[in-house]
Structure 1
């Protein structure tokens, strides 16, 4: 299996490579963010507040991009987002007060989740379908997610580096953690290099006016509402807060936690090619629901496990299934709207998702500050399972072109 499907253009390759670079950075940052903030003396509640600020900022920036994207070159927007990512890394390495960090988190691109919730997502999601034939659209989204999951897993493993550096050198743990935020900034420059080589073919025609949602409006708004329920649940267990719960519940080291997330990332990677294969046989909606639902049941059960080994077993089982809905969901949204409506559909589905996910980390941080049980995991799994059942009931009969 190649990096992209046979019918894909070189632009698809560049977008996948850029996503991989960003996922590597997100992988170690999502594990190290709570460690760094605790090192600065912040409470669990404040860790959740900063996570909420990052997601609120992503939602606001995504909304802004959706409003002005048709006026600007898409390549320029991606380059600007990469520059903002670099500035975010430098700011987190040098700013240590709570409220300034909240502001940087809101304005920047920091991602407390293992998945992509940043402004890059709707931009790349809009571009990918036009770089490949419809028959291989889901396959491209699967490989896009596969690369991100693999590099994110390696990034999570790299989260053990600061503790190693602090142990083997004269640097303190805090200084080593600050260095990782500078690495995050350097990786942003790598992503920028990929974006610089995108061809003019990714740009819409100069005389093409912005196309609002028309015939697909009802479908997209309903999907946006359902996706918001799902991401509201996901916000309770963004990787930074899941790491915080593991630190709190099992008194784990950074290296052990990083290793756990490395393996969950690898297990998630397996789900992407399986999702593409399965969707061709049972359909996109069925693939989303019947892989996601058992994953959420596993998540609900994790806090009830009496040992770390059993908890990790369920987290790994969840990871094997939980990401199958990502490439299928992205492909489904792009398939059930007209090509001209794709930018609007990407923005309309992304913004409510980001807003919904931004509220729950604050609640999750508060719950973790009063109890180590793991209530955020139970709440997250319950909300996400409800989303699965509603999606099946409402969209089983709405089929993409390749399934008709």
Structure 2
């Protein structure tokens, strides 16, 4: 039995289950919330464009709809993420979930183009199947706050894994529901599509409930470096430190894992001063993020051109597959994505964050480039599986990379701006693809997207392969930050050594 137990313990540690367990219930609720939300997005990614086609909307109008909806996502993301830390992360997540409910109900009840467009622009409807609204940036910032450098990539990997699993369930359910309902007497294909959007609203309600279960440890704590000058400010900071220490002791193991991510509350926050989030991002952070933002814009433009909804529509036009078959194909692809992302955290520990991002994304980009050429449905589906199976393996390392190169108090703003720029870039894609599809040149969109994605991959490797990480993180007891390269294969071991050395130095007699 001992070898078996050793193997189980190795799996428990290596695949991040230990990190996930010890991070605590807030992380579990956030991950479950995203899983249910992506289930809703999975239903829309399969049915949205097909729904518009059944309403006889032109390809050009469909592309315009998706572009304007993505623009709405941009505005919503900017407004909500930039104020999330000040207003309250839980409140923003609850409000976003409410918008999901209202948007889904509108699509379930209406067939008017302009009303649907209004609901999509001001609400939360995923036109691509991706999580481009205000939720993800806030959730990733919160998870980064709740984790330590050595557990962060593990937790974020499960955040992505369960999301893909939710998408797989959503597309499978949507395909089966549509196929079943349209065969019943008195049901049309449009009636079946409307029913799917009720599922979207139900998932929004479930998200609202999960958000209410989160506690105050999810909220932001702004930071400011404290200098011991013997002033009243120093005494006040000492009191704050004591209060934080008492809170950690009350929190047990969960508090230990959160402590390294917490910092002293800024006096500005206590005084209620309101500043622009962007103005609070340091020049050092901006110099890194400007380069990353440019590359992410290129990648997101490509993803917008060939989003999953448009890809499903392309297969439907080319091969005239049954809706249940399309649902099966899309669901399997999401399931493959979910299974592959389990390996993202172990790969990141051994290869480094940037190497993992690049090595897993290049084959997916090549599959996009080659996707429109095969005349066989099986080869086309195989390329689709390759694309989606590897497409999300870079997400957790990318989020961990951003968290590692920016200051803790800047994370929500930086991730919000990142989400906004990615969504803004993606808005251009559907319009271009709609114009190409209307002129029987749909295939060009996949070729262009594949080239852009490969440019992103190679640019990412060239610019960030030796980037120093964790300079702004303070392990327990340390006086300053530490740095590891993004290609380190021993991140976890070195982090542990740094912590032990720090603890020993503090215990040594002065």
TM over 0.5: yes
- Which secondary structure state, in structure 2, belongs to the residue aligned with residue 240 of structure 1? helix
The CA RMSD measured in Å over matched residues stands at: 1.7
Q: How big is the shift at 1:133?
A: 2.1
Map Cα deviations across residues 225-258 of structure 1 (whole Å, 9 max, x no partner): 2111110010011111111111111111211111
Partner residue of 1:278?
Answer: 347
Partner residue of 1:353?
Answer: 422
Partner residue of 1:82?
Answer: 97
- Note if 1:146 corresponds to 2:161: yes
- Note if 1:102 corresponds to 2:114: no
| 8 Å contact kept, 2:134–2:416 | no
Q: How big is the shift at 1:12?
A: 0.3
Map Cα deviations across residues 362-381 of structure 1 (whole Å, 9 max, x no partner): 11112112116522111111
| 8 Å contact kept, 2:35–2:166 | yes
| 8 Å contact kept, 1:30–1:240 | yes
| 8 Å contact kept, 2:306–2:430 | yes
Say which of 153, 156, 180 aligns to 2:196: 180
Distance in 2 between the 1:363 and 1:178 partners? Answer: 27
- Note if 1:366 corresponds to 2:435: yes
Distance in 1 between the 2:442 and 2:198 partners? Answer: 34
Partner residue of 2:152?
Answer: 137
Partner residue of 2:307?
Answer: 238
Alignment of 1:4-403 (within 5 A): 5-160=20-175, 161-205=177-221, 207=270, 212-214=280-282, 215-371=284-440, 374-401=443-470, 403=484
- Which secondary structure state, in structure 2, belongs to the residue aligned with residue 304 of structure 1? coil
TM-score normalised according to structure 1 size: 0.96
Q: Which runs of 4+ in 1 moved over 3 A?
A: 1-4, 208-211
Distance in 2 between the 1:14 and 1:187 partners? Answer: 14
Q: How big is the shift at 1:169?
A: 3.8
TM-score normalised according to structure 2 size: 0.77
| 8 Å contact kept, 1:137–1:331 | yes
| 8 Å contact kept, 1:44–1:365 | yes
- Which secondary structure state, in structure 2, belongs to the residue aligned with residue 349 of structure 1? helix
Q: How big is the shift at 1:403?
A: 3.5
More deviation in 188-197 or 5-14? 5-14
Distance in 2 between the 1:363 and 1:128 partners? Answer: 35
Partner residue of 2:508?
Answer: none
- Which secondary structure state, in structure 1, belongs to the residue aligned with residue 338 of structure 2? helix
> Aligned in 2, Cα 1:3/1:49: closer, same or farther, shift over 3 Å?
farther
Map Cα deviations across residues 166-200 of structure 1 (whole Å, 9 max, x no partner): 20342222112111112211110001100001001
> Aligned in 2, Cα 1:386/1:85: closer, same or farther, shift over 3 Å?
same
**Total equivalences in the alignment:** 404
Distance in 1 between the 2:99 and 2:299 partners? Answer: 28
Map Cα deviations across residues 316-338 of structure 1 (whole Å, 9 max, x no partner): 12222221111111111111111
Q: Which runs of 5+ in 1 are unaligned?
A: none
Q: How big is the shift at 1:4?
A: 6.4
Distance in 2 between the 1:219 and 1:213 partners? Answer: 11
